[in-house]
Structure 1
Amino acid sequence: MPFPQHRPRRMRRTEALRSLVRETTLAPQHLVWPLFVLPGTKVRNPVKSMPGVFQLSVDELVAEVQQGFEAGVRSVILFGIPEHKDPQGTEAYADDGIVPQAIRALKERVPGMVVMTDVCMCEYTDHGHCGILKASKAGGPGNELQVDNDLTLPLLAKEALAHARAGADIVAPSDMMDGRVAAIRAELDGAGYQDVPILSYAAKFAGAFYGPFRDAAESAPVEGPGIPKDRKGYQMDPANWREALREVELDVAEGADMIMVKPAVPYLDIVRQVRDRFDLPTAAYHVSGEYAMIKAAAERGWIDEDRVVLETLLCCRRAGADLVLTYYAKHAAQLLSGKKR
């Protein structure tokens, strides 16, 4: 029908009308809060590249999570910073490691919170890579080592089991080793933890948005003879969308219960394609670099931080994400619940 019969503005005239026909919603229960935990007591180390984010000891973590729960956040994901690192990442799969300690404390003190855990080796290895380094027989530049996929799988499975034993509700492998979902599923099932779901970082890209996270998790690859300078050998090429769908398909076939795309905003086209093709719950990780850019612009007065945060997270949801992992989780939940003005 020609103008003026069709006037889309009619349904935009008031907030009540806009709300009536709003297609996408954003609520605190859609948010997952990434948190960093390290040994000690009363430790609250600010992360310089991520204003408002801290490395927390277990006691401080519990207090922070309680505040988030009061604001409406119902899910957290934990990243551990160990006291000691070694080539095998031994503390990653220790039953008394920092993440199992944090899980037990949270399940006791904030029992209504869903506790997810990141399953990876990078925070625990002294070289900063996500698996065990070994000389490759497949050739390559010089004497460069490579992350050995198959040597890493049993250690990831042990790490996931240590988290499950401590009471983790969901384990989330982020390493991008081939076959890790199947290895973790077999380990959990064999130990009687068949009811613990796996959230797979199924399409994790080797992008440029992770720098602040590596400050927070102390997980940047170290410089050394033969050590790969980056993670492009196992994380995905940002140019590839068909490969992303194949990665997701493989993880689903191996038994993933939930799937994730990381980063979020530059890869919302991937989120949409994953959502359209697969029926599993889908997450998008609004990563540290995305958080830091909003913070930096807001501190300079260039943007309205609160509006940009909510719009960004809403757009992740509109693209198809059921869950959004974001360092803004508590802040956004407070805005959404009216507890922050």
Structure 2
Amino acid sequence: MVNHLLWIGSYAKKEEPGIYKVMVDTDAEAIALKNRYSGVENPSFLAEAGGFLYAASESMDGKAAFFQVQSDSLELKGTADSGEMGPCHIYAEDTYVWTANYGGSVTKYERSGETLARTAFSKHEGATGPNEERQDGPHVHSVVPFPDGKHLLVCDLGTDTLVVYDKETLAVVKEVQAAPGAGPRMSLFHPEKSVVYVMNELDSTVSVYKVGDGGMITHLDTLAGLPDGYNGEHTGADLQLSPDQRFLWATIRGWDGVAVFDLEADGSLSKPRHVKLDGKTPRSFYALKTEPFLVVAFQDSNELCLYKIEPNGLPTFTGKRLAVTAPVCVIKKGEK
């Protein structure tokens, strides 16, 4: 029997369970709840490093929270103020942590023993975008490290901007404009090719950028994620590469499906195929590294669903669901 342990982040009140530990048994094609933990308001996104689990507390008085990971439990150690409302994405490495704050900024923290402190802060300034409802000002949505270990790529949905930061100082290295109204949300670097993929939330497209030296990125291509003829509401959510690097998956809310892109040898993408999913509002999802399964978090149908990946890259629902309230993040336990 092969079991995989996952952490799930969700929207929850401080006194309610907000972080879940879930086990996937691939032999039985089963998904089960192992434990759940409270103490942090809206621990919507999670990251693990150095024996600690960090959570972006997506609240008006934004914070980063951290837990010590023990063999059968999580122990809340404390929080640090982000200096901004709505931390909605978090990255952790060694004793350092970064949050993307939806209020329009990036925060860096350092853990010393069992204390977490804010050490750097960068506030975005910028014009509004064409989407008046969602682009009334800067709205930073993700912070992802470059493979060079020296830079961060930050998506600002509100200003249609990709901002490259010096990882240590949070000094701005470069800004790249996305298409007006695209709303860049999440980025994903190819582990072997010099390309990075960006999920654009507002127009549900996926952009491909060439990665150069010194944190440089250059736009190469943008592809539609939605099926032809779809005219309903939609917002792009997350993207993941298959472990064999043959496919890129992108979840899209509203339409509630996944776009499946084939990867070419140079990392470029084909026009996608499409699969309608089996829940409402797919957010984050996780592809098991050693076996062909996806776990998808459905925020508005309050569940995790287990999918088997066919040889052609298309996910097939196993029929296995696990009730979880407003899940939005899925990561592997013990994995950065």
State the TM-score, normalizing by the size of structure 2: 0.33
Q: TM-score, normalised by structure 1?
A: 0.33
> Whose relative contact order is higher, 1 or 2, with alpha carbons under 8 Å and at least 6 apart?
1
Say which one has the larger Rg: 1
Could you say which structure has the higher strand fraction?
2
More helix per residue: 1
